[in-house]
Every structure is written in structure tokens, then in C-alpha cells.
Chains A and B, each alone.
Chain A
Amino acid sequence: MGNVCIVGIGIHPFGRTDGLSGLDQGVFAVRQALADAGVEWSDVQFAYGGSDAAGNPDTMVERLGLTGVQFINVRNGCAAGGSALFSAQMAIKSGEFELGLAVGFDKHPRGAFNALPSEYNLPDWYGEAGYMITTQFFANKIMRYMHDHGISPQSLGRVAEKAFRNAVHAPHAWRREPVMLADIMNAPMVSDPYTKFMFCSPAEGGVALLLASEKKARELGKPLVRLKAATMRTRPPGSFEVFAPSIDVERGGSATNIASAAAFDLAGIGPEDIAVAQLQDTEAGAEIMHMAENGFCRDGEQERWLAEGLTEIDGKLPVNTDGGCLACGEPIGASGLRQVYENVVQLRGDGGGRQVPGRPTTAYSHVYGAPGVSAVTILER
């Protein structure tokens, strides 16, 4: 089976852009990706688009051109972008197509996500009583993890500090001012142990990736960035997910565990071979837990990794080199694709002040979301 390559990338800066719809930002990203690949919209044979709250992605054909292109909308919670990418690469792998698009965009209202119980097959009382809150779950999850594995609040602060420091050098990031560790630790609590700097915010943004067969990529003359694996999994028994009125006494693994293992299996490499990683960090503790869930370290080792700076840009495994969700915010449909965008930037050596040294050849991305979905990619140059 031939390789799938990423031949064009585009991004609309994340954050808040008054006056531009989510779709506008998606279109912006697509045009940038087309220019980057040196192709026309009419060359694109198919598209998968993800958006959670900003309308149907396929309506962007009105803006890009009525070429009759096959365009499929993807709605898969926080894994929407990852699922669009997964589907796009399958279409190319099948041999049926040689050039296609994965695009994601979103635009959320300010404040925490406002989920309704009925959307998650839960009784109304669960929301009425004040449980339908993502931050509450995230805080409960990390509180237990810290208790079980000896992670300190200071480590949560270090993750946030790193995110804002890295984002200074990422033009597409939202919060690009460094924040001192003491200020992060002393900020108001949102849900203990998390202060306000340790949660990302719903945001806006758009990302587009053009995928091609390796044959087509060679014709285009682009540096070959191969998508060695793209996997998406739902939760196994005994996982602990958002919006859970109860969880099983018998504890189990996570959607991330199995998506990650499947991706490494497909790529034929292991965690120790990865040079740079973008891990879902909707809150500071998520990055910590996901370091272990994706196999990069054992539970509890994160305390030392963070104290020694092993996940900094120049560390053993740089994590979230553009500041991740903490600094970029989370437009659900675009978030997973932003991670892949950032990895392509890193593999091309275009990271500027946030470039990982030593010419990285492998890059890993991971998204996680409600109600227990995870998508992983591995890129190789």
C-alpha cells in the first residue's frame, strides 16, 4: 500500500476573530493550504470537513468554487478533526483518489462548553444538578491521578508555563505572553487543583491539510512528509470519561491507550523513536496523563520529566511546541488538525523560534475528547 503524504498546510490564527465566521476561517485555511501545495481547488478530488458549532463544512464549496467535489461532513466531538484526517487518508490509501482535503474549523461562545444531557444520552437531572461541566470532570480525574502517582500541583503549573512560553514563537497561537510559574500557581482556582491558567478556553480557528498519494506528492515536488499512521478509537471498558454519573470499580485503560498502540503498530516504530509530540492539553494535567497514556513515560515519571525540562523545545521529547490547547484555545473541529499542522511545520524545519533542534524526522499527535474518543497520527519525513 502506498504512503499518504501531507503536501499542503494552512491555518487561520486561533483565538477570537470578531467579524469572521468559523467557515470564513476554514476557507482562509484551505486557500493557504492550496497555495502551499501549489494546486488549485479544482484539483482537489474530495474533502472531509469537521466543525462542532460553526455550521456544515460542505457549505464552503460556495466560497471555494462549485467544482462538484465530493465533500463529507464529520461530527465526532473533540476528535472531529482527527476523524476527518483519518477518513481522508483512507480515501487515498484505497487507491481511488490522489489528492484530497481534511479541513476543520470552529467558533465557540465564550466560557466553558455548554453541553446538554440529552446530547450525551444522560437524564436531565444530571445537568440540572450542576454535573454537566467538563472542568469538573478534568479536575476530578487529575486529583485522583496526582494521588495515585505522586504528581505535584507545581508540575501542573510547569505545563502551563511551558505552553505560554512556546506560544510566544507560534504566530497562530492565541495567548502569546509568557506567564510566570508563581502567577500561574497563585491565580484564582477554577476547579481545584486547577487555576485559571491551567485550563484552555473554547476558541475559534481553522486548519486545512492537503493529502496526496506519494506519487502525486513527488509530482508536486514538495518535501515528503508521510502520514505513517492515523488511528481513531472509542473507549474500552473501565475508562473514566467526561460526563460520567458513575464509573466502574474495575478500572481499565483509555481510548488513548488503544489509539496510540494501534498507531505505533501501524508505523512500525515505538514511543522512543518520536522526536516531537503534540498531546491533548485541554488542561495542564491532561498533558501529564497523556504523556503516559501514549506510552512516552510511565505513570508518575512526569514529575521528574517536567522538573528536568525533558518536554521543553530542546528536551528529550518536546511536547506541544506551539503552546497546545492551553495557548491556542480549543476550536473543536480544528484542534486536532492544528496539532498535525504544527508537526508538519516542525518536520519541514519551519518552526522559527520554536523549532525543535536536530532536524526531527518523526512527529506524533494526539487528541482526546468526550465521550471517550481519541485520535492519533504519526508523521515521518
Chain B
Amino acid sequence: MQDGLKVFGEESSLEIEMRMIAEGLLTDEIPPRLVGGRNRETGRIVFPCPESGEYEPYPLQRQGTLWSYTIQRYRPKSPPYAGPDAFHPWPVGYVELAGEAIVEARLTDIAFDDIAIGMPLELTVVPLDAEAIDPVMVHAFKPAGAA
């Protein structure tokens, strides 16, 4: 994982330069996967990959189903929140990656009223500050098959 990771949109061949909020969250593939951690003894899978030697990096599947969700309707306190001062509510939930882990993530490309537990989702990234010129990106899930 490096800064300026190159990602190709799946539907288009548009190439974008991307800066994730932290190193080590995504694989270097196109399209990328979240990097979880797999316990070397028990096989338990978690996200993100802990730094301790008990876990080895384990790329997680990109497709999942919505396990639960809510809408974040107020601006989180800073610190630790590093998003913009301007606030727009965002959906956030837990996405079940079958047989692996249930991962917390923002949801994107969906109207709040259309969100439903069990809906199929796939991994994407969204800017932490949509208005920034060179935003840092955070992982998110969008409805499967959406552009």
C-alpha cells in the first residue's frame, strides 16, 4: 500500500489518484479489497489487520450484505473527527462479508429511505471531505451493481 494508489473505476477506465486515510487499509489490487487480519492460531478474521504478530494480513471479499445501519445526524466532535466543518448526515452500518467478518463502514450512493438490512453491497471509497481538492478517502459500501 502506498500513497497515490491507482484505482480504475470498474465501469469506466477513468484513472484516479487516491489517498486513503491510513496506510494498509486496502490491497494494491484493481479494484482493491479491504485488508483484514486472520488469527494465525484460531482463524478468527478481524478488520483492520492488527499490528501484533498474532494476525496475518487477509484480504476481505468485496461483496457483502448489510447487517445493520444508522444515520449519523450530527457532526462528531473534533478531535478525533478529521472531517470538514460543514456537516451533512451520512449512513453508516455493518456489512457482513460471508464467512469472514462483519465490517463497520459508511454507506454511499443510496437514499436513506432505501437502506434495508440484508441488501447486497460492494466495497468502494468516498472522500472524507467531498469539497476538498485533494481529499483523503475512507472505505465505504454501495449497493451492489450501482455505478
Contact = CB atoms under 8 A, between A and B. Distances in A.
A13 to B, nearest CB: 27
Interface string A179-212: 0000000001111110000000000000000000
B102 A249 contact: yes
A248 B47 CA distance: 10
A188 B71 CA distance: 12
A133 B75 CA distance: 10
A63 interface: no
Contacts, number: 112
Interface in A110-137: 111-112, 114-117, 123-133, 136
Contact of A132 (B80, B100, B103): B80
B107 to A, nearest CB: 11
A126 B83 CA distance: 12
A348 interface: no
Nearest to B22: A125
Contacts of A147: 68, 117
Interface string B46-57: 111000000000
Nearest to B116: A147
Interface string B26-49: 000000000010000000111110
A247 B94 contact: yes
Contacts of A313: none
Interface in B97-133: 97-104, 106, 112, 117, 128
Nearest to B23: A125
Nearest to A112: B77
B79 to A, nearest CB: 7
Contacts of B68: 140-141, 143-144, 147
Nearest to A188: B73
B101 A140 contact: no
Given A111-B77, A130-B81, A147-B117, A139 B70 contact: yes
A114 B98 CA distance: 33
A77 B53 CA distance: 28
B36 A246 contact: yes
Contact of B117 (A144, A191, A245): A144
Given A128-B21, A192-B71, A136 B100 contact: no
Interface residues of A, number: 36
Interface string B67-99: 111111110110111110000001011101111
A140 B77 contact: no
Contact of B67 (A117, A144, A190, A192): A144
Contacts of A123: 22, 48
Given A128-B80, A128-B82, A129-B128, A136 B96 contact: no
Nearest to B76: A130
A140 B93 contact: yes
Contacts of A247: 94, 101-102
Interface in A66-92: none
A248 B36 CA distance: 12
Nearest to A113: B77
Contacts of A124: 22, 80
Contacts of B71: 189, 191-192
A8 B112 CA distance: 52
B79 A245 contact: no
Given A247-B101, A248-B102, A127 B79 contact: yes
| Leading 3 A-B pairs by shortest Cβ distance | A127-B80, A139-B70, A128-B82
22 contacts: A111-B77, A114-B77, A117-B80, A125-B138, A127-B79, A127-B81, A127-B82, A128-B80, A136-B72, A140-B68, A140-B70, A140-B104, A143-B70, A144-B68, A147-B68, A189-B71, A192-B71, A246-B36, A246-B104, A247-B94, A248-B101, A249-B96
